[in-house]
């Protein structure tokens, strides 16, 4: 669970208002979703780095870049839903390259 979400739970528990179980469940779901999406980004970035460590088909690499962009986009959206809007540290921590970042939110024509 991220510190921000843990802090929100602590505030709810320690406040003058009665602890709202539904709110705690929602915060826990958000934290779970953040973890899930973070793992998906880690997997996508590991696959891309693994491919780059070897040589392979450029078309296969492009698919890995597109997959990474899709996973990073979903993670960023989930973070924003949780009120976490600054992505700079996440980009650094996960080692997300510019070629992935420029594809965020891109929709290809069929």
pLDDT tens digits, 29-82? 988 999 999 999 999 999 999 999 998 899 999 999 999 999 999 999 999 988
Structure-model confidence comparison of residues 25 and 2, the more confident one? 25
In a domain, 50, yes or no: yes
Domain count, the chain: 1
pLDDT at 16: 46
Measured between its terminal Cα atoms, the distance across the chain in Å is 38
Please report whether residue 59 resides in a domain. yes
Instruction: Give domain status of residue 22, yes or no.
Output: yes
On whether residue 52 sits in a domain, the answer given is yes
Residue at 25 is within a domain: yes
61 domain-assigned: yes
Residue 88 lies in a domain: yes
pLDDT for 63 equals: 96
How many Cα atoms are found within 13 Å in the side-chain-facing hemisphere of 68? 27
Is the per-residue pLDDT at 17 higher than 60? no
Q: What percentage of the chain carries pLDDT values higher than 70? A: 84
Residue ranges in the chain assigned as alpha helix (H): 3-14, 21-53, 58-81, 88-94, 98-101
What is the pLDDT, as a whole number, of residue 71?
97
Domain that holds residue 66: 3-101
In a domain, 108, yes or no: no
């Amino acid at each position: 669970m991220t510190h921000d979400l843990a802090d929100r739970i602590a505030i709810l528990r320690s406040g003058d208002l009665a602890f709202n179980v539904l709110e705690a469940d929602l915060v826990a779901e958000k934290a779970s979703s953040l973890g899930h999406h973070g793992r998906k980004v880690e997997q996508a970035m590991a696959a891309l780095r693994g491919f780059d460590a070897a040589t392979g088909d450029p078309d296969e690499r492009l698919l890995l870049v597109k997959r990474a962009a899709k996973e990073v986009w979903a993670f960023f959206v989930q973070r924003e839903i949780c009120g976490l809007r600054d992505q700079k540290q996440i980009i650094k921590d996960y080692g997300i390259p510019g070629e992935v970042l420029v594809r965020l939110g891109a929709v290809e024509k069929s």
